[in-house]
Structure 1
Amino acid sequence: MTIPSYQECMKPILSFLSDKKEHTVKEIDEHIAFVFNLSDEEKQQKLPSGGAFLYKSRSNWARVYLSKAGLILKPKKAVFKISDEGIKLNAGSSVTNIDKDILMRYNSFKEFIEVSRVHKEKASHPNVTVESTHEDTPDITFEASFNQINSALADDLITEMKNINNYQFEQLVLDLLKAVGYGVDGEIRVTQKSRDNGIDGIISEDKLGFSKIYVQIKKYAVDNKVSRPELQTFVGAIAGLDGKGLFVTLSDFTEGAKEYAKSQHLVLINGQTLAKLMIEHNFGVSVKKVYEIKVIDSDLFADYAN
């Protein structure tokens, strides 16, 4: 058989996970190879870039899309299990194949596509190579795919951060702030836990310490949003300290908390923003491959023409 597309991989993956057990990426990839009866030669076929194996790359993107739709969960690194929504969809007798149209029924997937979209109403699909559609120019398609890759990487970073304890998470956030460039000479003071009054770090913005940023960090579960009362407590803790407030969480903030933060000039960083900062500043990530998009040097040819 030919190597399946990422869309063709989605239904077999969901069915494989329907036993409600946790399965590793290796087990899922082996299942795809078995279902599609891939030969040894087909399993060794790589992407044109020479990186990952082609069928594993497509299996990976199938998992990313299923995860974005909320049909499968990633409890820890390289491990997946089916969600309640995934069980419902897999049990439906009318669903024999899963494609993007079916995934678009889920709001979380729609949001993912919207975030990935660049200047167009439809984002491109990752496949063997980045190909343009009738609507998109190649550079727009390339950038949309790049955004999708980073979105998937952000999810992986959040999964990694879930697996460290609260104190380790606080240190990670403070180290990230140093990497971003906060603190005089990269110095950020960590408060003592016994008497921090809800303040986990203090950033001096000048060498004499006249201007400070007070940081509170909460490693909440993704479904446990920070509410307005928690921000009010933080504001109370820094009142009279003559500084700014920064509240960081691995989860998110309620709408009430966001409105309150605006009125108090608090800066809020949620899990997605935190992951994006890590990617932007190469913190906790490494560069896998660099692509250069080149254009004609018109000045050089103009010199020759003259």
Structure 2
Amino acid sequence: MSRPKFVQFFCPVIEVLKELGGSGHPAEVKDVIANRLNISEQERTELLDGGAPRFDNQVAWARFYLVRAGIIDSSRRGVWSLSDKGRAIEFLSYEEALTIFKQIHSEFQNNGNSGEATSESDEAIGETIAPNDTSVSDDSSYRKKLLEILLSLPPSGFERLCQRLLRESGFEQVIVTGRTGDGGIDGQGILQVNPFVSFKVLFQCKRYTGSVSVSQVRDFRGAMMGRGVIVKSGV
């Protein structure tokens, strides 16, 4: 079996996550690794045939195998974090990293999981997009499909989606109030800053292509008393 280049990043990923307190966002982890290993800007911007940065993709492959080995927990909200097993590792040599790769890769081949990890056994693995890592995937087609779905929603459906989005972002008591003659205000909610401070926020839903114009923002400000946000869908 050949030695995929991304195996060299197993130990740096673990070390950087430890340095960051046990967890970190993918871009943050990759930046620290690049600085620590003196990865040049040219190397960082070199692209695969699919358009993803080769360096980012190799680090993502390292993370993928470390997840399968139980060293990193599955991503939660785009955050990479060490498991108890990962935190207990003081140092991982290249040979130990290679052993992990061979073991996990062998499991994929035995289980026939070609959908998650290619059956290739050499460095060509790293030339394909790493699974389950949207930060390096070419997601332009998914964005297009998502926008098509959003634009096809009825006005009430889009308002409900915005309501859910605000709730997921920490707003409470979010209600939709959109109606004719409301000055463009579609709903309101309460943003709890801390146990002592909260304030009412009005929101307006915009669903079209192009930017929100200055005049539309001005009209929205004129229709409300207090703070507000504009939730926009489009390109």
Q: Which has the higher strand share?
A: 2
Band of TM-score, shorter chain: 0.3 to 0.5
Higher normalized contact order (CA 8 Å, seq sep 6+, divided by chain length): 2
Normalised by the length of structure 1, the TM-score is 0.35
Normalised by the length of structure 2, the TM-score is 0.44
